[in-house]
C-alpha cells in the first residue's frame, strides 16, 4: 500500500483536496486571529508571544496528539485530563519520597500506557463503549490523585527544576523551554507514524470502517488497543511536562482538560466519527486555543469565561464547515 491518498478519482479536485480544507480553514483562522492581535496590541508582534503560546500549551499539545489517534479510529478518550494529573501526582509523591529522578520518570511514564492498554482491552474484547470505559478510567485516575494526597505536593528535585528553568533561546532574549522541544518531538514522531507506517494506515482504516478493516485482514484488535495505549502514553508525557511547568503535583489540576483536548482536535479538522484528520491539524487546533487565551489576556477587559464561549462558537463553526464540505459524516 502506497502512502498516497486513497480517495477515489471522481471526488478528487486536483487543486485543493477536500479533506485538506478543514486544516487550511484552521490555518486561515489562526493567521487572522494572529493578525488581529498584532494590529490591536503592539507587544503582540513580539516573537516571544508565539513562544509563550507553545510554552503554556506544550502539555496540551502532546495530549491532543494522543487523542488524535483515538479519535481517528472513531473512539474517544475521556481519561486524559485525569491521567495527566495522576502522572504529575505520582511523580511529585515519588520524588518527595526520595526516589532518583530517572526511576520516577520511568514509573510515571509506565502508568498512563498501562491504564490505556487496560481500557483498550475492555473496549475491544468486551465491546463496552469507549465513552463509558474511559469515563471509568477518568474516575479511577482522578480518585488515585486524591488517594495519593489531598493537597498539592511541590517538587524540589534538581532534575525537575533544571528542566523547568532551562531556557533555550537567542541572544535577543526570546526563548522556549525544554518542554516545547519534547512536545515538538512527540508531534513529529506521531505525524510520521500516522502518515508513513503500516500502523498509521491501520488507524485510518479502522476509523473509516472497522468491519471492512477486519474483512481486509487488518489487525483491528491490535490497532484499537494500541491507540488507547498511545493516548495513555501521550497523557503520561503531558503529565510530566505539566509537572515541569508547575513544579508540583495537585489533585485537582487539569480538571476538564479532556474537553479542551477534544475541542482542539475537532477544530484541527479531525472528524469525530473517525477516519479523517491530521496531526498537523491538531497542532493548529491547540494553537488556536492558545491564541484565543493570549488575545483575551492581552485585552484585559474581557473575562475568562469568554474563552469558553468563543471555543464553543469555534467548535460550531468548524463542524458546520466540515458538514458543508461534506466530508464523510454520518
186 vs 62: CA distance, rounded Å: 7
Q: How far is the CB of 136 from other proteins (least distance, A)?
A: 4
Q: How do beta strands 175-177 and 167-169 pair?
A: antiparallel
Per-residue x/- mask for other proteins, residues 262 to 281, rule CB under 8 A? Answer: xx--x-----xx--------
Give the x-and-dash track for 215-254 against other proteins (CB under 8 A). ------------------------------------xx--
Taking the complex as a whole, the smallest distance from the CB of residue 177 to other proteins amounts, in Å, to: 28
From the centroid of its chain, how far is CA 129? 21
Tell which one of 18, 20, 96, 308 touches other proteins (CB under 8 A): 308
Q: Could you say which of 33, 145, 237, 287 contacts other proteins (CB under 8 A)?
A: 145
Binding residue for other proteins (CB under 8 A) from 101, 105, 221, 319? 319
CB-CB contact of 296 with 304 (8 Å):
yes
Q: Does the footprint of other proteins cover residue 97 (CB under 8 A)?
A: no
Is 1 exposed, middle or buried (CB count within 10 Å of its CB: 0-12, 13-18, 19+)?
Answer: exposed
**For residues 42 and 20, what is the distance between their CA atoms, to the nearest angstrom?**
33
Return the residue of 122, 155, 257, 295 that touches other proteins, per CB under 8 A.
122
Q: Which three cell numbers stand for residue 227?
A: 491507540
Residue 48: which residues within 8 A CB-CB, separation 6 or more? 173, 174, 175
Type and span of the H or E element at 176: strand 175-177
Applying CB under 8 A, among 43, 47, 106, 128 the residue interacting with other proteins is: 128
| 254 torsion bin: left (phi>0), alpha (psi -120 to 50), beta (else) | left
Region binding other proteins by CB under 8 A among candidate stretches 32-40, 59-67, 189-197, 309-317? 309-317
Residue ranges binding other proteins (CB under 8 A): 75-76, 122, 125-133, 135-137, 139-140, 142-147, 150, 211, 251-252, 259, 262-263, 266, 272-273, 303-309, 311-313, 315-316, 319-320, 323, 329-330
Amino acid at each position: 500500500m502506497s502512502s498516497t491518498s486513497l480517495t477515489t478519482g471522481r471526488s478528487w479536485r486536483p487543486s485543493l483536496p477536500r479533506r485538506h480544507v478543514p486544516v487550511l480553514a484552521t490555518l486561515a483562522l489562526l493567521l487572522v486571529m494572529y493578525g488581529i492581535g498584532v494590529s490591536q496590541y503592539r507587544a503582540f508582534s513580539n516573537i516571544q508571544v508565539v513562544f509563550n503560546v507553545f510554552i503554556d500549551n506544550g502539555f496540551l499539545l502532546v495530549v491532543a496528539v494522543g487523542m488524535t489517534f483515538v479519535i481517528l479510529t472513531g473512539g474517544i478518550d475521556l481519561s486524559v485530563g485525569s491521567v495527566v494529573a495522576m502522572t504529575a501526582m505520582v511523580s511529585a509523591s515519588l520524588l518527595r519520597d526520595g526516589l532518583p529522578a530517572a526511576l520516577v520518570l520511568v514509573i510515571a511514564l509506565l502508568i498512563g500506557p498501562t491504564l490505556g492498554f487496560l481500557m483498550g482491552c475492555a473496549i475491544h474484547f468486551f465491546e463496552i463503549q469507549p465513552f463509558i470505559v474511559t469515563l471509568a478510567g477518568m474516575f479511577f485516575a482522578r480518585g488515585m490523585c486524591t488517594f495519593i494526597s489531598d493537597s498539592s505536593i511541590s517538587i524540589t528535585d534538581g532534575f525537575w527544576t533544571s528542566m523547568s528553568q532551562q531556557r533555550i533561546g537567542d541572544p535577543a532574549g526570546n526563548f522556549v523551554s525544554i518542554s516545547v522541544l519534547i512536545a515538538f518531538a512527540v508531534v513529529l514522531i506521531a505525524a510520521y507514524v500516522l502518515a508513513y507506517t503500516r500502523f498509521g494506515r491501520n488507524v485510518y482504516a479502522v476509523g473509516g470502517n472497522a468491519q471492512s478493516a477486519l474483512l481486509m485482514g487488518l489487525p483491528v484488535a491490535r490497532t484499537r488497543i494500541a491507540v488507547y495505549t498511545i493516548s495513555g502514553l501521550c497523557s503520561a508525557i503531558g503529565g510530566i511536562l505539566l509537572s515541569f511547568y508547575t513544579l508540583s503535583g495537585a489533585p485537582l489540576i487539569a480538571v476538564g482538560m479532556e474537553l479542551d483536548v477534544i475541542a482542539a482536535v475537532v477544530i484541527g479538522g479531525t472528524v469525530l466519527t473517525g477516519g479523517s484528520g491530521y496531526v498537523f491539524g491538531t497542532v493548529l487546533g491547540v494553537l488556536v486555543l492558545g491564541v484565543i487565551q493570549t488575545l483575551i489576556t492581552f485585552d484585559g477587559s474581557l473575562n475568562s469565561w469568554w474563552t469558553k464561549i468563543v471555543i464553543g462558537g469555534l467548535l460550531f463553526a468548524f463542524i458546520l464547515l466540515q458538514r458543508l464540505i461534506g466530508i464523510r459524516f454520518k
